Amino acid sequence: MQIGKEKLLWMFEKMHEIRIYEETMAAAYMEGKLPPEIQKGLAFDIGGGPVPGEMHLAAGQEPVAVGVCAHLNDDDTVVGTHRPHHFAIAKGVPLDRMTAEMFGKVTGLGKGKGGHMHLFDNAHKFSCSGIVGASMPIACGAALAAKKMGKNWVSVAFFGEGAANQGSFHESMNLAAMWKLPVIFVCEDNQWAISVPKSKATSVEWVTDRAVGYGMPGIRVEDNDALKVFDAVAPAIARARHGEGPSLIEIKTDRYFGHFQGDPETYRPKDEVTRLRLNDPIPGLAKLLHDQNYMTDAQETQLVKKARDAVSHAFDFARMSAYPAATDALQDVFVTSPLTYRISA
Amino acid sequence: MNTNRILTMAQAISEAMAQEMTRNPDVFVMGEDIGSYGGIFGATGGLLDKFGKDRVMDTPISETAFIGAATGAAAAGLRPIVELMFVDFFGVCMDQIYNHLAKNTYMSGGHVKLPVVLTTAIGGGYSDAAQHSQCLYATFAHMPGLKIVVPSNAYDAKGLMIQAIRDDNPVMFMYHKGIMGLPWMSYLTGSSNAVPEDIYTIEFGQAKVMKEGRDLTIVSISQMAQKALLAANELAEQGIHAEVIDLRTLVPMDTESVLKSVRKTGRLLIADEDYLGFGLTGEISALIAENLDSVHLKAPIKRMAVPNVPIPYSRPLEQFVIPQVQNLVTAARALMGGRVMSKAAA
């Protein structure tokens, strides 16, 4: 085990923060979306309440985010997916401004223009997209920039197993391998592309089986376990930092909520989530920390409280923030700040 | 036979598909989550149970491959219905749509028939932000080679869908999420209406006068046509009689019905949920401008559409950029007070 105590404790705290965040969001999201507050005859109104629109939550998928991001520095880039909260939290995106964005408030990361699938935080080199497969080309670009600028920064493209069947997957893999870009492609395999299981959509059992076709290493992580993710990703990060090129990682993980909140989930067995929760990765990590004498019961309580307080503060901040003025909608199509273009000497 | 059944637009669309699939074994459906899920917006509800997985095919998330495959299968003699889940996702597969599906007939000198129906969900109003809320019908109408159908209600949707399946050309069938009658999204209930169980078709290029009036014409399409009707009802209470025209299809477009109405009223409000620039509102305005030798305008044309910004997430921002019923009422009232420049002033 090459990981130290501090990083393990960090992973533990962040996994709690992510889990508490997603559960808090699940509850906040349902406000104003149920009868009798909504149009008569509806069972649910996706556009109602303080957090309207689609909501894709990542409870159960924490190991992917913390196991990868534990390797990253502030200068490394992360590009996430339509289910982005766990990545954002693990990358250090401030919870308060991220939450305010989902409440559509002017204090949000995008002043309310983006919403939960479109979080942009330049300071932490984080972005994400609602389009399946979009993370990979953009992560290639961040890696290309690092290479051209002579930095040893790496970039990570997270994507779901469903995205491995998009054209952008093929094009990005080949480009990154050809140009030896410092990218780590991380396939988050939660087995479901909305209602379509991986077995009905993907020609190989493991997406990493495709790595050889691009001339890059493919690394599988068969357990939804943060420490195993951390260990498996380590050589890919080292390879990227040393200018040796990209790697493809695939991590089996579990989606506890539906594809989106409100998803009837008629396509998966009723007891599937109950079974998945028996392998909850958070108690597993807690046990490891106790077994190693890295964490006392009192410390555990304190770390969980810290996570809970951070989430609670963020939601308070979001709720108390103001909405943007309606006419703000007309701003920001183009930047208007002074030109940053410079002629080099 | 029950002729007074009220169906939602989603039910009407899936019924149309089912009836044509029953009549013609060449018709089949492909798309993401269109099988056991029944389509994210319900357009293919019940089809898997009726026709099985060989004719109702869930696809990988590979739009370039399966939309391109629809073109290939159509050229080979089948009649695919293929769903692009949100129109906003066109970016990942546009080459297959506009360089192939839309052009192969022309480039083959008319020898290649492509009877493809490309269904897709459009529209905003429920805070789904810039990548899941656009209409974009004008983008597709701009490029030659695709017929563009954009229904506003269940009755029209059924007849237009059957017509689309029978057409030997590529048809984009664009349904607005906010009129599908889904149990999980608020919608304008005027879109659910009486739909005969019989099979019927509605010809493309025939606008519908939803409400007659003498004072001004409101030209619209899709969910915005339902908003226009609500606005017209409110205006009627104020003594202003608006004629509401639902274009129903953009390609081909029923220009005659628009001209006829504006010749009568002399005032035109064009209401659209697509972007303002280079779009439907400009196209209709140009139609009027080109026919000023036979149209007498009493006031300048008024255009209402999304003001050339991406669709924002936050509710107050989104409600501001998408024209609402009250905006249409206000615009119509302003139009009644408008004047064109007089000869003397010129």
Q: Report how far residue A45's alpha carbon sits from residue A52's, in angstroms, rounded to the nearest whole number.
A: 9
Q: DSSP assignment of A194-226, as one string?
A: TTEEGGGT-SSS-GGGGHHHHTS-EEEE-S--H
Assess whether pLDDT exceeds 90 at residue B3: no
Assess whether pLDDT exceeds 60 at residue B265: yes
Instruction: Let me know if B296 is a catalytic residue.
Output: no
Contact A326 B130 (CB under 8 A): no
Instruction: Give the mean pLDDT of A73-102.
Output: 98
* pLDDT for the residue B89: 98
How far CA A7 is from CA of A67, A259, B59, in Å, comes to: 10, 30, 41
Q: How many CA atoms does the CB half-sphere of B315 hold within 13 Å?
A: 13
* pLDDT for the residue B137: 98
Assess whether pLDDT exceeds 70 at residue B1: no
Contact B186 A38 (CB under 8 A): yes
Rg (CA), chain A: 20
Asked if A253 is an interface residue toward chain B (Cβ–Cβ < 8 A), one would say no
The CB-based long-range contact list for B289-295 (8 Å cut-off, 24+ gap) reads: B291/B259, B294/B259, B294/B263, B295/B259, B295/B262, B295/B263, B295/B266
Q: Report how far residue B143's alpha carbon sits from residue B146's, in angstroms, rounded to the nearest whole number.
A: 7
Instruction: Let me know if B63 is a catalytic residue.
Output: yes
Residue of A nearest to B183 (CA): A42
Contact between residue A185 and residue A81 where contact means Cβ atoms under 8 Å apart: no
Assess whether pLDDT exceeds 90 at residue B148: yes
Asked if B326 is an interface residue toward chain A (Cβ–Cβ < 8 A), one would say no
Q: Report how far residue B268's alpha carbon sits from residue B285's, in angstroms, rounded to the nearest whole number.
A: 9
* pLDDT for the residue B2: 59
- Top-tier CATH class for A5-320: alpha beta
pLDDT category at A341 given cuts 50, 70, 90 is confident
Contact between residue A4 and residue A34 where contact means Cβ atoms under 8 Å apart: no
Assess whether pLDDT exceeds 90 at residue B344: no
Assess whether pLDDT exceeds 90 at residue B47: yes
At B307, give phi and psi (nearest 5°): -75, 55
- CA B95 to chain centroid: 22
* pLDDT for the residue A336: 83
ipTM: 0.93
Tens of pLDDT, residue by residue over A119-154, are 999 999 999 999 999 999 999 999 999 999 999 999
Contact B61 A162 (CB under 8 A): yes
The H or E element that residue B302 is part of is strand B302-306
> Which 3 state secondary structure label does DSSP give A250?
strand
Q: Report how far residue B274's alpha carbon sits from residue B124's, in angstroms, rounded to the nearest whole number.
A: 10
Other Cβ atoms closer than 10 A to A274: 10
Q: Report how far residue B43's alpha carbon sits from residue B85's, in angstroms, rounded to the nearest whole number.
A: 10
Asked if B132 is an interface residue toward chain A (Cβ–Cβ < 8 A), one would say yes
Question: Could you say which residues from 109 to 148 on chain A have a Cβ atom under 8 Å away from some Cβ of chain B?
Answer: 110, 112-115, 117-118, 129-133
Q: Name the active-site residue from B132, B176, B273, B318.
A: B132
Q: Report how far residue A138's alpha carbon sits from residue A87's, in angstroms, rounded to the nearest whole number.
A: 16
Q: Report how far residue A256's alpha carbon sits from residue A135's, in angstroms, rounded to the nearest whole number.
A: 23
How far CA A11 is from CA of A8, A230, B180, in Å, comes to: 5, 10, 44
Instruction: Give the mean pLDDT of A57-68.
Output: 98
* pLDDT for the residue B343: 74
What is the residue whose two structure tokens read 């039910």? Answer: B11
Residue of A nearest to B58 (CA): A196
Assess whether pLDDT exceeds 80 at residue B346: no
Contacts of B75 (CB under 8 A, 6+ apart): B104, B112, B113, B114
Instruction: Give the mean pLDDT of A176-183.
Output: 98
Query: E strands along A121-256, which residues?
Result: 126-127, 155-160, 183-189, 192-193, 196-197, 218-221, 247-252
Asked if B60 is an interface residue toward chain A (Cβ–Cβ < 8 A), one would say yes
Assess whether pLDDT exceeds 60 at residue A222: yes
Assess whether pLDDT exceeds 80 at residue A66: yes
pLDDT category at B33 given cuts 50, 70, 90 is very high
Asked if B58 is an interface residue toward chain A (Cβ–Cβ < 8 A), one would say yes
Q: Report how far residue B303's alpha carbon sits from residue B326's, in angstroms, rounded to the nearest whole number.
A: 15
Q: What percent of chain A has pLDDT over 90?
A: 95
Q: What percent of chain B has pLDDT over 70?
A: 99
The H or E element that residue B187 is part of is none
Contacts of B148 (CB under 8 A, 6+ apart): B137, B140, B141, B171, B172, B174, B249, B250, B251
B208-337: CATH topology is: Rossmann fold (3.40.50)
Domain boundaries, chain B: 6-194, 208-337
Contact B131 A129 (CB under 8 A): yes
Contact between residue A155 and residue A79 where contact means Cβ atoms under 8 Å apart: yes
Assess whether pLDDT exceeds 60 at residue A1: no
Contact B125 A47 (CB under 8 A): yes
Nearest to B315 among A104, A108, A163 (CB): A104
* pLDDT for the residue B225: 98
Q: Which two tokens stand for residue A320?
A: 């108390």
Tens of pLDDT, residue by residue over B77-95, are 999 999 999 999 999 999 9
The H or E element that residue A334 is part of is none
Asked if B319 is an interface residue toward chain A (Cβ–Cβ < 8 A), one would say yes
> Which 3 state secondary structure label does DSSP give B83?
strand
Tens of pLDDT, residue by residue over B156-215, are 999 999 999 999 999 999 999 999 999 999 999 999 999 999 999 999 999 999 999 999
Q: Which two tokens stand for residue A174?
A: 């080949």
How far CA B90 is from CA of A192, B18, B95, in Å, comes to: 22, 26, 9
Domain B6-194 superfamily per CATH: Thiamin diphosphate (ThDP)-binding fold, Pyr/PP domains (3.40.50.970)
Average pLDDT, chain A: 96
Q: Report how far residue B338's alpha carbon sits from residue A292's, in angstroms, rounded to the nearest whole number.
A: 80
The verdict on pTM exceeding 0.90 is yes
* pLDDT for the residue B237: 98
Q: Report how far residue A67's alpha carbon sits from residue A226's, in angstroms, rounded to the nearest whole number.
A: 5
pLDDT category at A270 given cuts 50, 70, 90 is confident
Contact between residue A186 and residue A159 where contact means Cβ atoms under 8 Å apart: yes
